[in-house]
Amino acid sequence: MKINVVIVGHVDHGKSTLIGRLLYDSESINEGRVEEIQKLAEEYKRRFEFAYFLDSFDDELKEERTIDTTGVMFKSRKNLYSITDVPGHKEFIKNMLTGASHSDVAVLVVAANEGIQEQTGRHAFLVHMLGIKKLFVVINKMDIVDYSKKVFQDTRNKMSHLLASFGYHDVPFIPGSAMEGDNIYKPSQHMKWYNGTTLIDTLDNVSVERVVKPLRFVVQDTYSVDSEKVVVGRVESGTLHVGDEVIFQPSNVIAKVQKIVVYQHDLAEANRGDSIGIVVNKEVERGDVCGLPKLPPIAVTEFLGEAVLLDKKLQEGDEVELRCATRWVKCRIQRIREKINSETGEVIENNPAEISENEAALIEFSCEPVVVEKFSEIPELGRFVLVRNKNIGAGIVLETTSQK
């Protein structure tokens, strides 16, 4: 089974090192790669560390920071994992929203010597907001605190309290050291007092249910080849077959799928995640979403969303641009229902007039027709970015008009 995992946590708490450890101990990294990274590291006169497996791009080495999300795959005894590393600092929250969106499980890394820091809470909040139901905590860098049971328990108690406010109860906590390899892939010899499972065994015990979703094909571009109308895009959910009659929204065009092509090859069907071209008998528009008439996509002009503001202020009545999948539309902040503390998840204020940087809010949006879906149902169409000259916020769709 394939499981998507996102690793989150405060800057420098050891996310990249932990992923490096998983890859190394599962023997997923070949010699060549280790050597290549070691060489790079030497050039910058840095000690060889696992973090370089991931933070191995030139600029990142100089900055000693992960600057973009990095996906890696590895196999355990049981599952195939796709792991996303997310940058720790707050200006990259937007990347995180993108990186985390396909995840089944989140692993929150907290350094034992520093405990809960600003982004620990904020990332837990974002993980909750993204609808990721399974969360594990690794209390990392246990080697620095002499593998102390007391430090582990104190941190766990504080963390449990914080996580409960986001609705995460009975979260597994794993004391580990990504650097020394304790309890990540192999059981630790240093913490006999811990009788729980290693991180990999905890992950291997996860069961993920995947429900069959309606077809949603997002149009990226359209063009004509020899009088054929080709529509290029990605299947974000469901399955598309040659011969299907499909409906495109918001343009409200019904068309027939004559061919599905990938690099000159014809396919009979396409599934979630496939980037394809389809030949149809009608003109459609970039930004449209196509589905089957039985469970069609619906273009809305109002929806309820939860957003985190990454920059400046947002007031009721403000007009911004909303980007969802490949569609960009004008939208208006109709009403701010609640202001939410993004570190604790608590409602700070009802009906506030405005929200500021780093605050989250429950917002009623009104917009030009756009296909959005509840995030919990079709995440790819349930996540949006707010733009005013640059990205100022990101959020998820909680309810659309038809569901209100």
Stretch that binds ligand GTP, among 4-12, 100-108, 186-194, 300-308 (CB under 6 A): 4-12
Which of ligand GTP, Mg ion, none binds 141 (CB below 5-8 Å, type-dependent)?
ligand GTP
237 contributes a contact to Mg ion by CB under 5 A: no
Pick one of 24, 25, 28, 65: the residue that binds ligand GTP (CB under 6 A): 65
Find out whether 240 and 215 touch, Cβ atoms under 8 Å: yes
Residue at 217: amino acid letter: F
CA gap 184, 200 in Å, rounded: 6
Please identify which residue in 3, 9, 14, 16 interacts with Mg ion, judged by CB under 5 A: 16
Please name which of 404, 401, 382 lies closest in space to residue 300, comparing C-alpha atoms.
401
179 binds, among Mg ion, ligand GTP, none (CB under 5 to 8 A by kind): ligand GTP
Residues contacting 135, CB < 8 A, separation 6+: 105, 106, 107, 108, 124, 127, 163, 168, 171
- Distance between the two ends of the chain, CA-based, in angstroms? 36
Question: Between residue 37 and residue 66, which ones bind Mg ion under the rule CB under 5 A?
Answer: 66
User: What phi and psi, each to the nearest 5 degrees, are found at residue 61?
Assistant: -60, -45
- CA dist 323 and 330 (Å) reads 9
What are the φ and ψ backbone dihedral angles of 291, each rounded to 5 degrees?
A: -150, 180
DSSP lists the bridge partners of residue 356 as: 313
Q: How far is the CB of 68 from Mg ion (least distance, A)?
A: 10
Query: Residue 175's binding partner, choosing from Mg ion, ligand GTP, none, with beta-carbon cut-off 5 to 8 A by kind?
Result: none
**Min separation Cβ 58 and Mg ion, Å:** 15
Which residue's CB is nearer to ligand GTP, number 128 or number 141? 141
- By CB under 6 A, the residues from 97 to 116 that bind ligand GTP are none
* Amino acid in the structure at residue 201: D
Residue 79 touches which of Mg ion, ligand GTP, none (Cβ within 5-8 Å per kind): none
Site for ligand GTP in 106-165 (CB under 6 A): 140-141, 143-144
Binding partner at 155 among ligand GTP, Mg ion, none, C-beta below 5 to 8 Å by kind: none
Q: Give just the sign of the alpha carbon dihedral 381, 6, 124, 15.
A: negative
Crossing angle of helices 118-129 and 93-100, in 10° steps, is 40
Residue 13 or 339: the one with the smaller Cβ distance to ligand GTP is 13
Closer to ligand GTP by CB, 51 or 304: give it: 51
Point out which residues pair with 366 in neighbouring strands.
302, 332
Binding-site size for ligand GTP (CB under 6 A) equals: 21
> Which residues in this chain contact Mg ion in the complex, by CB under 5 A?
15-16, 66
> Which residues in this chain contact ligand GTP in the complex, by CB under 6 A?
9, 11-17, 49, 51, 65-66, 87-88, 140-141, 143-144, 177-179
